[in-house]
A and B are shown apart, each in its own frame.
Chain A
Amino acid sequence: MTTANDPLILGGHEFHSRFILGSGKYSMQLIEAAVKDAGAEIITLAVRRTNTQKKDNILDYIPKHVTLLPNTSGARNADEAVRIARLARELGCGDFVKIEIMRDTKYLLPDNTETIKATEILANEGFTVLPYMFPDLNAARDLVSAGAAAVMPLAAPIGSNKGLAAKEFIRILIDEIDLPVIVDAGIGRPSQACEAMEMGAAAIMANTALATAGDVTRMARAFRSAIEAGREAYLAGLGRVLTRGASASDPLTGFLREAK
Chain B
Amino acid sequence: MTEKKENNFLIDTGNLSPKALARKHQLENDPSCRRDPMEYLPGMEIIKSDIREKVMREVDAYDYESYTAADVRRALNHEHRTIEDFKALLSPAAAPFLEEMSRIASEITSRHFGNTVYLFTPLYIANYCENYCVYCGFNCYNSIHRLKLEHEQIEHEMKVIADSGMEEILILTGESRAKSDVKYIGEACKLASKYFRNVGLEIYPVNTDEYRYLHECGADYVTVFQETYDLKKYETLHLLGHKRVWPYRFDAQERALRGGMRGAGFSALLGLSDYHKDALATGLHVYYLQRKYPQAELSLSCPRLRPIINNDKINPLDVSERVLCQILCAYRLFLPFAGITVSSRESARFRNGIAKIAATKISAGVSTGIGDHESKYEGKDDENAGDEQFEIQDQRSLHQMYDDMKGEGLQPVLNDYLYV
A interface, CB within 8 angstroms of B = 24-28, 46-49, 52-56, 74-76, 80, 83-84, 87, 102-106, 159-161, 208, 211-212
Q: Point out the residues of chain B lying under 8 angstroms from A25, CB to CB.
A: 110, 113-116
Q: Point out the residues of chain A lying under 8 angstroms from B413, CB to CB.
A: 49, 53
> Which residue from B111, B337, B415, B416 sits with its C-beta under 8 Å from A212?
B111
Given that A74-B418, A106-B290 are contacting pairs, would A27 and B298 also be in contact in the complex, using a CB cutoff of 8 Å?
A: no
Q: Point out the residues of chain A lying under 8 angstroms from B112, CB to CB.
A: 159
B414 touches A52 (CB 8 A): yes
Closest to B335 in A: A106
B167 touches A211 (CB 8 A): no
A211 touches B417 (CB 8 A): no
Shortest distance from the beta carbon of B145 to any chain A beta carbon, whole Å: 35
Q: Point out the residues of chain A lying under 8 angstroms from B290, CB to CB.
A: 105-106
Closest to A107 in B: B337
B111 touches A74 (CB 8 A): no
Majority secondary structure, A binding face: loop
Q: Point out the residues of chain B lying under 8 angstroms from A74, CB to CB.
A: 417-418, 420
> Which residue from B113, B165, B420 sits with its C-beta under 8 Å from A84?
B420
Instruction: Please measure, in the bound complex, the distance between the C-alpha atom of A207 and the C-alpha atom of B417, giving whole angstroms.
Output: 19
- Is residue B43 contacting chain A, with contact meaning CB distance below 8 A? no
Shortest distance from the beta carbon of A227 to any chain B beta carbon, whole Å: 22
A27 touches B415 (CB 8 A): no
Q: Point out the residues of chain A lying under 8 angstroms from B298, CB to CB.
A: 105
- Is residue B411 contacting chain A, with contact meaning CB distance below 8 A? yes
Given that A104-B295, A105-B298 are contacting pairs, would A49 and B116 also be in contact in the complex, using a CB cutoff of 8 Å?
A: no
- Is residue B348 contacting chain A, with contact meaning CB distance below 8 A? no
Q: List 27 A-B contacts (CB under 8 A).
A: A24-B114, A25-B113, A25-B115, A27-B114, A46-B416, A48-B416, A48-B417, A49-B413, A52-B197, A52-B414, A52-B415, A55-B165, A55-B402, A56-B411, A74-B417, A74-B418, A80-B420, A84-B418, A87-B418, A105-B297, A106-B294, A106-B337, A208-B111, A208-B114, A211-B110, A212-B111, A212-B114
- Is residue B56 contacting chain A, with contact meaning CB distance below 8 A? no
- Is residue B314 contacting chain A, with contact meaning CB distance below 8 A? no
Q: Point out the residues of chain B lying under 8 angstroms from A211, CB to CB.
A: 110, 114-115
Instruction: Please measure, in the bound complex, the distance between the C-alpha atom of A256 and the C-alpha atom of B410, giving whole angstroms.
Output: 70
Instruction: Please measure, in the bound complex, the distance between the C-alpha atom of A226 and the C-alpha atom of B94, giving whole angstroms.
Output: 42
Shortest 3 CB-CB contacts between residues of A and residues of B: A25-B114, A48-B418, A53-B414
Q: Point out the residues of chain B lying under 8 angstroms from A48, CB to CB.
A: 415-418
Instruction: Please measure, in the bound complex, the distance between the C-alpha atom of A55 and the C-alpha atom of B110, giving whole angstroms.
Output: 22
> Which residue from B111, B115, B167, B197 sits with its C-beta under 8 Å from A161?
B111
- Is residue B323 contacting chain A, with contact meaning CB distance below 8 A? no
Q: Which of B115, B296, B418 neighbours the largest number of chain A CB atoms within 10 Å of its CB?
A: B418
Shortest distance from the beta carbon of A80 to any chain B beta carbon, whole Å: 4
B411 touches A47 (CB 8 A): no
Instruction: Please measure, in the bound complex, the distance between the C-alpha atom of A161 and the C-alpha atom of B107, giving whole angstroms.
Output: 12
Shortest distance from the beta carbon of A2 to any chain B beta carbon, whole Å: 33
Closest to B409 in A: A27
B415 touches A83 (CB 8 A): no
Shortest distance from the beta carbon of A106 to any chain B beta carbon, whole Å: 5
B420 touches A105 (CB 8 A): no
Instruction: Please measure, in the bound complex, the distance between the C-alpha atom of A53 and the C-alpha atom of B411, giving whole angstroms.
Output: 13
Instruction: Please measure, in the bound complex, the distance between the C-alpha atom of A47 and the C-alpha atom of B418, giving whole angstroms.
Output: 8
Instruction: Please measure, in the bound complex, the distance between the C-alpha atom of A65 and the C-alpha atom of B418, giving whole angstroms.
Output: 27
Instruction: Please measure, in the bound complex, the distance between the C-alpha atom of A200 and the C-alpha atom of B2, giving whole angstroms.
Output: 61
Q: Point out the residues of chain B lying under 8 angstroms from A104, CB to CB.
A: 294-295
Q: Point out the residues of chain B lying under 8 angstroms from A212, CB to CB.
A: 110-111, 114
Other contacts beyond A28-B411, A53-B167, A211-B115: 16, CB < 8 A:
A24-B114, A25-B113, A25-B114, A26-B411, A27-B114, A27-B116, A48-B415, A48-B416, A48-B417, A48-B418, A53-B413, A56-B412, A105-B297, A106-B290, A159-B111, A159-B112
Q: Point out the residues of chain A lying under 8 angstroms from B296, CB to CB.
A: 105
Instruction: Please measure, in the bound complex, the distance between the C-alpha atom of A212 and the C-alpha atom of B116, giving whole angstroms.
Output: 12
Instruction: Please measure, in the bound complex, the distance between the C-alpha atom of A134 and the C-alpha atom of B418, giving whole angstroms.
Output: 24
Q: Point out the residues of chain A lying under 8 angstroms from B414, CB to CB.
A: 52-53, 55
Q: Point out the residues of chain A lying under 8 angstroms from B294, CB to CB.
A: 103-106
Shortest distance from the beta carbon of B340 to any chain A beta carbon, whole Å: 14
Instruction: Please measure, in the bound complex, the distance between the C-alpha atom of A84 and the C-alpha atom of B413, giving whole angstroms.
Output: 20
